Amino acid sequence: MAPLKMLQQLAKKHGTPLFVVDHNELRRNYTAFKKYLPRVQAYYAVKANPDPAIVKTLYDAGASFDVASMPEFMVVHEYIKNLPAKQRQDWIWDKIIYANPIKANETLRELDQYKALVTFDNFEEIRKIKQYAPHSGLVLRLKVSNTGAMVELSSKFGAASGEAANLILEADKAGLVVEGLSFHVGSQTTNFENFVQAINLAANVFKEARERGYTKMNLLDIGGGFPAPYDATVKPFRELARKINAEIDRLFPKDIQILAEPGRFMVATAGTAISKIIGKAVRDGKLCYYVDDGVYQTFSGILFDHCQYHMEAFKKGATRICTVFGPTCDALDVISMAEELPADLERGDLLYSNNIGAYSVASSTPFNGFPPAKVVHINR
């Protein structure tokens, strides 16, 4: 996080609500990911925060990209297409995976011109890809355990391991090339055994496919779920990396490419939200602060991401448990019912929230006419 004095200066200059992205923190996170998972190519999950400036910084650092819609695809495409010709060569294969297993016909038709790498998890999707995007490379997404994840994903996507080889052979029969396997253990997964179990399951599917005559798979995408350090209960990333490295090295030869889709891990700690107190009241004996940002704007992750963000004050003083409300007329717009803040804050005082870079401004809306926070990028 940027120094408090810098955050205050930025708020004074730009006003509030304000969302500050620290690009040095982005680079630190990418470097840490590569340090502890040296065999894994990081495909940043653009959905976590699709800001083009973030894409640029991570691309320049060496990242590839996981996209789940054509608008996300074009965020990456718009940056890469302006690079020198030498840097653009084979950029799709090296830099993008379209990791949404279910795609509209129109999307597939548009993707086909790029010969993109796309995921699938059912027989109907094979038929769609064959018809609308036959030049795509395929990656079969497996259903794996999401136990302990903050956001569960396995009920919506993923092929059962028992039908995986049949899906691979069906795609091959259709004239498509299945390049490898993928899985997702759930977002913000603090149960590291999910990764261990999923890697072992993928190894078994590789083995069954080979035994049934399919030998074209050369990559494993271990998905996302790498947890951000929101609090002290999240174990260090190096501990998770140690488990992943051990299983990958044990089960997959060096000629198998290993991909991952970190989103939250890359960007969560790089974002800070600054808001201003616009009202103050006591309700049923409890102090309430009203601020100019809320769950329809930067704090949308409270609703959509099951995440709880903590607010802190720049001013110090004796604290008490307070409620913090957002600015809209909706009673759902509650940032926290139990936030420990100074009791003597006044209208115009500023609050800030750390580690809010992922799944926050990405889903902001202009509900009630309140605009999303202004985004400011810093390099320290």
- The residue annotated as part of the active site, out of 288, 307, 322, 329, is 329
Q: Tell me, what amino acid is at 44?
A: Y
| Superfamily for the 23-268 domain | Alanine racemase (3.20.20.10)
- Tell the residue number behind the tokens 């790029």, with chain if given: 114
Please state the pTM of the whole predicted model: 0.94
168 exposed, middle or buried (CB, 10 Å; 0-12, 13-18, 19+)?
buried
Asked whether 123 and 170 are in contact (CB, 8 A), the reply is yes
* 327-372: pLDDT as tens digits: 999 999 999 999 999 999 999 999 999 999 999 998 999 999 999 9
pLDDT at 170: 98
329 is catalytic: yes
CB neighbour list of residue 42: distance below 8 Å, 6 or more residues apart: 30, 33, 34, 62, 63, 64, 260, 262, 266
**Residue limits of CATH 2.40.37.10 in the chain:** 4-18+269-378
Placement of tokens 């495909």 in the chain: 43
Query: Is-contact 132 124, C-beta < 8 A?
Result: no
Residues of CATH 3.20.20.10 domain(s) within the chain?
23-268
Average of pLDDT values for 191-206? 94
Whether the CB-CB separation of 101 and 157 falls below 8 Å is answered with yes
Buried b (16+ CB within 10 A) or exposed e, 339-357: bebbeebeeebbbbbbbbb
pLDDT of residue 38: 97
Average pLDDT over residues 210-225: 96
Residue 339, strand partner residues: 322
End-to-end CA distance of the chain: 10
Q: What is the CATH class of 4-18+269-378? A: mainly beta
Condensed to tens digits (0 to 9), the pLDDT of residues 155-176 reads 788 999 999 999 999 999 999 9
Tokens coding 162:
């028992």
Give the 3-state secondary structure percentages of the chain, helix then strand then coil, rounded to 5.
Answer: 40, 25, 35
